Structure formats: C-alpha cells, structure tokens
C-alpha cells in the first residue's frame, strides 16, 4: 500500500503563493496517476488537478478544474517520488484542506490518499 504525506500548507493573503508537496512511499511512483483534491468545511471533496501518462508513456498529461486553471500548476519529480502543486494568485475561495491522491492499480480510480494539509487564504 502506498503512503502519501502532504506538506506546505499554511496561511497566506489573497494574491499570494504556496507550494504543496506530496511525498510518496510507493516503488513505482512514476507509473501512477497522481492528483490533488480539496475539501472545505461542510463541502464535498472536489478535484483540483491531475498528472497522468500520455499514450506511449513518453510524457505526462496535466489537467485542472476550471476554477484553478492558469493559477495552479501540478508537477512531479519521479526521482524523488514527490508530487507538487504550485498555487499562485490565491483567492479566499481556495481555502480548504488539500489532499494528495494516487491511482496505484491502473487509472480507473484513486485508491491511496494522504491525510491532508490546510491552506487558508485571507482577504
């Protein structure tokens, strides 16, 4: 079972930036589809961004939910088994607990989750 540990959350003013990190214990990190999700108090968990293989396994495809596209950037360092989320131009609406997730048994669904890191954006 893959273990994921998020870090990098904190308090920032609107317009500021944070970089979240997700350290993975898996032995085949490079093969996993990886994603970031977030959950605000009283709300359902929502998709934020993902990194997955393009056909041929020559590069990764990235995807984003509309509300963060152009402001957030997902990236990964396979040598370090680490996933990142660079968050720029933060808005109060981005306040949530952010979770790292991995699809370790194919890309059908995410089956491994971290414990989350709090991001709070003040206005």
Mean pLDDT of 83-89: 98
Q: Is the pLDDT of residue 105 over 90?
A: no
Q: Is the pLDDT of residue 54 over 80?
A: no
pLDDT above 70: percentage of residues in the chain = 96
- Answer whether 9's CB lies under 8 Å from 99's CB: no
Residue 75, classified by CB atoms within 10 Å of its CB into exposed (0-12), middle (13-18) or buried (19+), is middle
Mean pLDDT of 42-53: 94
Q: Is the pLDDT of residue 106 over 80?
A: no
- The angle formed by the CA atoms of residues 113, 41 and 12, to the nearest 5 degrees, is 85
Identify the band that residue 9 occupies on the pLDDT scale cut at 50, 70 and 90: very high
Q: Enumerate the β-bridge partners of residue 117.
A: 98
């Amino acid at each position: 079972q893959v273990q994921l540990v998020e870090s990098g959350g904190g308090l920032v003013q609107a317009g500021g930036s944070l970089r979240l990190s997700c350290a993975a214990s898996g032995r085949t990190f490079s093969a996993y589809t990886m994603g970031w999700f977030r959950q605000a108090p009283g709300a359902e968990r929502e998709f934020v961004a993902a990194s997955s293989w393009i056909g041929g396994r020559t590069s990764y495809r990235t995807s984003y939910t509309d509300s963060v596209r152009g402001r957030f950037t997902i990236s990964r360092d396979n040598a370090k088994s680490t996933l990142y989320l660079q968050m720029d131009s933060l808005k109060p609406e981005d306040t949530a607990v952010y979770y790292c997730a991995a699809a370790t048994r194919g890309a059908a669904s995410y089956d491994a989750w971290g414990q989350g890191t709090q991001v709070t954006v003040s206005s």
